[in-house]
Amino acid sequence: MPKSTLTFFSLLMIILVAGAITFGFYNVRKSQLQKSSEAFSVAFSQSFLTSWNLEFFKQHCSKEFCDKLPDEAFNLMFENMKRIGNLQEIMEIESTIHDLFVLNSSASSTTIVMKSSFQNENGEIYLDLVQEDNTWKVNNLFINSAYLAD
């Protein structure tokens, strides 16, 4: 076998191994981010959507989200959401990881959708999360419900 062919196959093998390792790290990191974001979402929702404590929310929201809305807008938004009643149960969770960088978790964000039951109706909780200083923070919160659309 000619030396150039052997060199080509050696380089190809190195590239394939490096790609497989990188893909493996990517999948492990994605799985870790998914589990941690879902755990944060459940804990946050169970606490906030039963107490409706605005200060608790502000402690767990991203700087971007807190800066974008004045206190009056937060109060109005939450007074409207509270009409659905307290969270009773989270029945199903779906999450999508965005902007995933294997070595830089601070650039990670995720969208969580939780099918849930509340006192007055079932609805879907939409949470957009970002990582700030390796901690998940709420970047947006929305409850989809016909009850709240009235």
Domain that holds residue 8: 3-149
Alpha-carbon distance of 95 to 113, in angstroms, equals 6
The rounded mean pLDDT for the chain is 84
Mean pLDDT of the region 7-26: 76
Flag whether pLDDT at 102 surpasses 50.
Answer: no
107 vs 41, more confident: 41
Q: Whole-model pTM?
A: 0.77
Output the domain CATH number for residue 139.
3.10.450.50
Q: What is the pLDDT of residue 34?
A: 84
User: What are the pLDDT digits (tens) for 81-101?
Assistant: 999 999 999 999 998 887 655
Count the domains in the chain. 1
Q: Round to the nearest angstrom and report the end-to-end CA distance of the chain.
A: 76
Cβ pair 138, 127 in contact under 8 A: yes
Instruction: Give, in degrees to the nearest 5, the angle at Cα 146 between 123 and 51.
Output: 50
